[in-house]
């Protein structure tokens, strides 16, 4: 038995971009168009003949539109196999209309919950059920049915229909997009309704934001993906000049932002391999950046500068002078915005320097973060309440830190909280800037050696910060040799007594934070 020669397209869209032109094209190709509610109204107003959905289902649109397309007639028309004689015969017997094209997109759940004041009731009303059902059915039966979810694909569909070039590859691509949309959509609903910190099943909706120049190495490909409704710097990331970004550039900008966003005063950081080689505060951004570079000019070569205030001409001149006076290249500069004269100077300073702005810096998000491991990932609560921990600090030595030393300890603790774990930092005694960083070491005393050696003459009277406890008293003894004036560390080692005694012998005030600041 031959199938019915009539051809039907079902169109039901929330986003009506381009839908009139597509519907007119399908009508001109002799497709009979079945449509619903608002979509049918728009098409009718544009003189495109429409078969109302209720004429197919035999039921009115009901319950404030919750029931429209879900029906035996609609789902059968989408699902029956056109290559199966039994299915064809059954469809004829049951008077099922063959729906060969489904054009559908979904209620705006993502946009609805973007507003934190949206009520649960409003969110629920924006959960699409009928659309998802149609899409799933059409995508399953992609060998017989074309399913289109994205207005950007309308022209490709029209072109394929015109040339009769409906390939298997094209059908599968459209089906894959439909399943991806459903998965993305449902994942957001699950995340919104879920109240467990660590649910038994976790999905991460995300969409591609941009392709990168390359990954960690030039032979690797990479793209950036982003979760919906995040207040990420990536939302407003704008290239103002220089090279496109690689994976390392993006992660370096992110690491720098993690450091400078902790401060309301002007802050600048030079990042190398996802960790600061120099970080400083200043009364002006120019002063902060000059200090951050001065902290370790050798390591700053080829680094990424991230600023928490708009880049002006005076600050740009610091970068230009680093190039002319120290022969030091900077790969990337990123800030909330950049003035035209600052951009003009930096473009002249180095042609390939990547110049990026990222808009407003949002506060540290009190959310979760993720670490990739083989075959999966680890979710953890974010370390975002650093200042709250200051109230638990305790001086454990006879000598007490001065108010100035305590203030520098707190700044240093913020600095170190965004550096690769097992780190020692030497803070200048008077200026809120690093003088030495021993970062990401396997030995704590080894990290202390690096930081103290790097700080050289500035170690005398400086503040030593450790992101964890001292397992032995060797780091304290080493600090005393360099005439460190005060120490702040986690505490909690079985050898705390030995470290305290060593600090007391040298009259060094030492504060225990009672909290570790690892950052892997």
Residues with active-site annotation: 140, 273
Q: Coil, strand, or helix at residue 253?
A: helix
* Closest-CA residue to 509 (of 464, 453, 447, 454): 464
Rounded distance between C-alpha atoms, residue 452 and residue 437, angstroms: 8
DSSP-assigned letters across all residues of 254-274:
HHHHHHHTT-SS-EEEEEETT
Q: Which of 398, 396, 420, 411 lies closest to 465, judged by CA?
A: 411
- CA dihedral sign of residues 88, 94, 97, 102: negative
CA 479 to chain centre: 39
Do the beta carbons of residue 378 and residue 370 sit within 8 Å? Answer: yes
Residue 513's φ and ψ, nearest 5 degrees, are: -85, -25
Q: How far apart are CA 388 and CA 23, in angstroms?
A: 59
CA dihedral 339, 345, 349, 351 (to 10 degrees): 70
Q: Please, is 222 exposed, middle or buried when counting C-beta atoms within 10 Å of its C-beta (0-12, 13-18, 19+)?
A: middle
Residue 289 to residues 233, 270, 349, 381: CA-CA distances in angstroms? Answer: 20, 8, 17, 31
The 3 state secondary structure assigned to 360-376 is CCCCCCCCEEEEEECCE
Phi (first) and psi of residue 59, to 5 degrees: -130, 145
Number of Cα atoms under 13 Å in the Cβ half of residue 385: 9
**Is residue 145 within 8 Å of residue 100, measured between CB atoms?**
yes
d(CA 387, CA 368): 18
Which 3 state secondary structure label does DSSP give 122? Answer: helix
Nearest alpha-carbon partner for 466 in 495, 432, 506, 437: 437
Measured between alpha carbons, how far is 8 from 35 in angstroms, rounded to an integer?
10
Contact between residue 509 and residue 405 where contact means Cβ atoms under 8 Å apart: yes
Q: How far apart are CA 235 and CA 228, in angstroms?
A: 10
Nearest to 485 by CA among 502, 503, 508, 467: 508
> Rounded to an integer, what distance in angstroms lies between the CA atom of residue 19 and that of residue 31?
15
Sign, CA torsion 465/466/467/469: negative
């Amino acid at each position: 038995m031959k199938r019915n020669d009539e051809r039907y397209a079902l169109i039901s869209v929330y986003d009506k971009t381009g839908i009139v032109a597509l519907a007119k094209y399908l009508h001109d190709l002799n497709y009979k168009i079945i449509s619903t509610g608002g979509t049918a109204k728009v098409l009718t107003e544009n003189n495109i003949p429409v078969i109302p959905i209720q004429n197919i289902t035999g039921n009115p649109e009901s319950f404030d539109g919750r029931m429209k397309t879900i029906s035996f007639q609609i789902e059968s028309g989408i699902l029956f196999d056109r290559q199966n004689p039994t299915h064809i015969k059954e469809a004829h017997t049951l008077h099922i209309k063959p729906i060969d094209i489904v054009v559908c997109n979904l209620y705006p759940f993502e946009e609805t919950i973007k507003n934190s004041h949206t009520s649960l009731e409003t969110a629920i009303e924006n959960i699409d059920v009928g659309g998802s059902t149609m899409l799933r059915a059409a995508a399953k039966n992609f060998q017989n049915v074309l399913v289109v979810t994205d207005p950007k694909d309308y022209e490709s569909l029209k072109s394929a229909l015109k040339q009769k070039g409906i390939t298997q590859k094209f059908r599968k691509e459209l089906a894959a997009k439909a399943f991806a949309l459903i998965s993305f959509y449902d994942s957001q609903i699950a995340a919104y309704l879920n109240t467990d910190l660590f649910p038994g099943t976790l999905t991460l909706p995300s969409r591609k934001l941009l392709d990168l120049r390359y990954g960690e190495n030039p032979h690797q490909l990479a793209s950036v993906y982003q979760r919906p409704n995040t207040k990420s710097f990536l939302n407003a990331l704008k290239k103002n000049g220089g090279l496109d970004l690689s994976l390392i550039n993006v992660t370096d900008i992110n690491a720098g932002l993690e450091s400078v966003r902790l401060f309301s005063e002007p802050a600048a950081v030079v990042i190398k391999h996802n960790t600061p080689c120099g970080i400083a505060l200043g009364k002006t951004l120019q002063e902060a950046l000059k200090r951050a570079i001065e902290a370790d000019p050798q390591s700053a070569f080829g680094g990424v500068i991230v600023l928490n205030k708009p880049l002006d001409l005076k600050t740009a001149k610091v970068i230009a002078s680093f190039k002319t006076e120290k022969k030091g290249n900077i790969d990337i500069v990123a800030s909330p915005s950049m003035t035209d004269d600052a951009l003009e100077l930096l473009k002249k300073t180095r042609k390939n320097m990547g110049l990026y702005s990222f808009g407003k810096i949002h506060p540290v998000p009190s959310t979760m973060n993720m670490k990739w491991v083989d075959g999966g990932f680890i979710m953890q609560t974010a370390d975002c309440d650093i200042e709250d921990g200051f109230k638990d600090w305790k001086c454990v030595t006879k000598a007490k830190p001065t108010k100035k030393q305590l203030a520098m300890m707190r700044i240093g603790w913020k600095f170190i909280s965004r550096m690769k774990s097992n780190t020692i930092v030497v803070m200048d005694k008077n200026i809120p800037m690093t003088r030495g960083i021993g970062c990401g070491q396997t030995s704590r005393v080894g990290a202390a050696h690096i930081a103290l050696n790097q700080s050289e003459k500035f170690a005398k009277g400086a503040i030593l910060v450790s992101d964890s406890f001292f397992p032995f008293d060797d780091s304290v003894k080493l600090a005393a040799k360099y005439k460190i004036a005060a120490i702040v560390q986690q505490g909690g080692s079985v050898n705390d007594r030995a470290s305290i005694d060593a600090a007391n012998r040298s009259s060094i005030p030492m504060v225990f934070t009672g909290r570790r600041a690892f950052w892997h």
